[in-house]
A and B are shown apart, each in its own frame.
Chain A
Amino acid sequence: MSSLRIARAALQVRPAAIARPLQRRGYADVASDKIKLSLALPHQAIYKSQDVVQVNMPAETGEMGVLANHVPSIEQLKPGLVEVIEESGGSKQFFLSGGFAVVQPGSQLSINAVEGFPLEDFSAEAVRNQIAEAQKIAGGSGSEQDIAEAKIELEVLESLQAALK
């Protein structure tokens, strides 16, 4: 009689043990369609490993959009507009002064830049004034470095002006 009870107890234990592996989530369940974005400046982290849907950015090799499960790569960014499409469906736009984007395995994206601000923080008038100034220097008879720096400024300002329109 007692041996029968032990046998029945063993029978009752087993179904629970079998059920557990069935509840375990596989890779297919875990893989999400979101990408973890970290957008960091030396003085501030705008995004800290936050789930977003898509990030569009101006790489030196051309405009690129990054979704989840993107191939790992390192891209130098041009000074320009980075668009972040968030989980809620809304999108945010930041103008970055140039930096690097690193797409890491496991749907992680790290963007590093020196300066980055939302578009509404810029003044169209300041941009226009600076373009005039930089054009004067770029076309002037300064040193090779001064002209090169003015051309960098022009590149940034023209990108900024196009983004502000």
Chain B
Amino acid sequence: MAFAWKAAGLTYNRYVSVASRVVRRSLKEDKRIAAERRGESDLRFAKWENGKQGENKSLNTANEAAVADAAGHQSS
């Protein structure tokens, strides 16, 4: 099956998280506030090289960059 999001370089995980995010945002006010907390994630990582800690990076932004990068390779 050919999905449009797959052609754009998105993974199934990304697809389903976008779909879930929009479902949460469509809820009535009281339920939405409780539900939207589930969509948040914040994780930082650093690469250690030669015994030194590298730059602290956010996993979410690193993932987005990786997706954009993968899509660039696919289309070219």
Contacts and interface: CB of A to CB of B under 8 A. Distances in A.
Contact of B67 (A145, A147, A153, A155): A145
Contacts of A122: 26-28
A160 B71 contact: no
B10 A97 contact: no
B43 interface: no
A60 B67 CA distance: 24
Given A60-B1, A123-B28, A143-B68, A157 B9 contact: no
Nearest to B75: A144
Interface residues of B, number: 31
B5 interface: yes
Contact of B5 (A79, A117, A152, A160): A152
B44 interface: no
A5 B71 CA distance: 91
A46 to B, nearest CB: 14
Contact of A153 (B16, B18, B64): B18
Most A C-beta atoms less than 10 A away, residue of B10, B16, B23: B23
B45 to A, nearest CB: 21
Contacts of A29: none
A158 B69 CA distance: 30
Contacts of A98: 15-16, 19-20
Interface of B: 1, 4-5, 7-10, 14-20, 22-29, 31-32, 35, 38, 64, 67-68, 71, 75
26 contacts: A43-B38, A60-B1, A79-B23, A95-B23, A97-B19, A114-B17, A114-B19, A114-B20, A115-B23, A117-B23, A117-B31, A121-B31, A134-B22, A143-B68, A144-B9, A144-B75, A145-B8, A145-B71, A147-B8, A148-B5, A148-B9, A149-B5, A152-B19, A153-B18, A153-B19, A157-B26
